[in-house]
């Protein structure tokens, strides 16, 4: 029998005003590397055009989920594209990219951006973009429930998404009273973020509502685990879970490496224009 995951901690995300065109909240705050491994941070942003300028990344993947609005992306490797509500961009920065995200002119975007750490062997991987349109992703359907699989799998429904670090990312949309069970490898560390509605989660039926992040109990010594989700009212929730890397983390802004010297090299490479080669 798979071990039943519990909710070990619940946190309510605080949305703060940074400027007249940008509000944000820390779903996963940076610095808690060991607790969140393989995830580094997750930001919720509500922003207008001009909030973010071109900026570099190295040593990580960024996973951007558009809650609402139309988001344009521009970068040094893959050109330009647009994401709409429910779409995801899975960007492998690897050895280095320079990119920018901007709402379509005259609009506001509400998004989530997750940073996933890359293991030392993949930190200098070739950059890669996977634009995951909601309408194209595999779907698992049950009574009163739709589970969209952006990465990993859900009860045998698998996404074609390529991963350097094994990650399951699913969106669950449940009608009131509906219940689903999500399978996860026991080694995975993970959390849920509730976008809409409320429900109960895990073996203890822990209550959660929109704007809360729920952290899963660990099950490292078990091969398989399960998480039960039940909707009290119409529920929309994202589940992220992944294989911990268990390596040192040294972060400097958008660069995440294993040592200070690797950070210094990243800064030099960026200053010398190597991120656009």
| Residue pointed to by tokens 């634009």 | 131
Query: What one-character DSSP code corresponds to residue 54?
Result: -
Domain for residue 276, yes or no? no
In a domain, 207, yes or no: yes
Sequence-distant (≥ 6) Cβ neighbours of residue 68 within 8 angstroms: 85, 108, 109, 110
Q: Is residue 71 part of a domain?
A: yes
- Tell me the Ramachandran region of residue 121: left when phi exceeds 0, alpha when psi lies from -120 to 50, beta otherwise: alpha
Binding-site residue numbers for Fe cation are: 55, 57, 99, 101
- What proportion of the chain, given as a percentage, has pLDDT over 90? 92
Q: Is residue 227 part of a domain?
A: yes
pLDDT attached to residue 79: 66
pLDDT in tens, 106-121: 999 999 999 999 999 9
Q: Is residue 269 part of a domain?
A: no
pLDDT value at 235 more than 70: yes
User: Which pair of structure tokens corresponds to residue 169?
Assistant: 């990312």
Mean pLDDT over the full length of the chain: 96
Please give the residue range of the domain that contains residue 234: 1-261
Q: Which residues are annotated as a binding site?
A: 55, 57, 99, 101
CA atoms within 13 A on the CB side of 218: 9
Question: What's the CATH code of the domain at 225?
Answer: 2.60.120.10
Q: Is the pLDDT of residue 53 over 70?
A: yes
Distance CA 66, CA 248 (A): 31
Residue 104 located in a structural domain? yes
Query: Does 32 fall in a domain?
Result: yes
Does residue 134 lie within any of the structural domains?
Answer: yes
The mean pLDDT value for 50-54 works out to 90
In this predicted model, which residue has the larger pLDDT, 80 or 189? Answer: 189
Domain count, the chain: 1
């Amino acid at each position: 029998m798979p071990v039943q995951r519990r909710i070990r901690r619940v946190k309510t995300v605080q949305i703060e005003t940074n400027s007249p065109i940008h509000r944000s909240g820390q779903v996963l705050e940076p610095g808690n590397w060991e607790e969140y491994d393989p995830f580094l941070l997750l930001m919720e942003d509500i922003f207008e055009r001009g909030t973010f300028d071109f900026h570099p990344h190295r040593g990580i993947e960024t996973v951007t989920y558009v809650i609402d609005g139309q988001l344009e992306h521009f970068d040094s490797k893959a050109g330009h594209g647009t994401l709409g509500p429910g779409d995801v961009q899975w960007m492998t920065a690897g050895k280095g990219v320079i990119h920018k995200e901007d709402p379509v002119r005259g609009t506001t975007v509400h998004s989530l951006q997750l940073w996933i750490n890359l293991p030392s062997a993949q930190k200098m991987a070739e950059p890669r973009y996977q634009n995951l349109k909601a309408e194209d992703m595999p779907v698992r359907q049950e009574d009163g429930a739709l589970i969209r699989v952006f990465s990993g799998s859900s009860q045998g429904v698998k996404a074609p998404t390529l991963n350097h670090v094994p990650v399951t990312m699913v969106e669950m949309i449940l009608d009131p009273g509906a219940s689903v069970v999500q399978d996860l490898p026991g080694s995975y560390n993970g959390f849920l973020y509730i976008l809409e509605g409320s429900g109960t989660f895990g073996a203890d039926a822990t209550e959660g509502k929109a704007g809360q992040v729920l952290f899963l109990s660990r099950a490292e010594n078990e091969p398989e685990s399960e998480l039960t989700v039940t909707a009290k009212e119409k529920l929309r929730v994202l589940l992220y879970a992944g294989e911990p890397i268990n390596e040192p983390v040294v972060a400097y802004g958008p660069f995440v490496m294993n040592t200070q010297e690797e950070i210094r090299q990243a800064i030099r490479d960026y200053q010398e224009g190597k991120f656009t080669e």
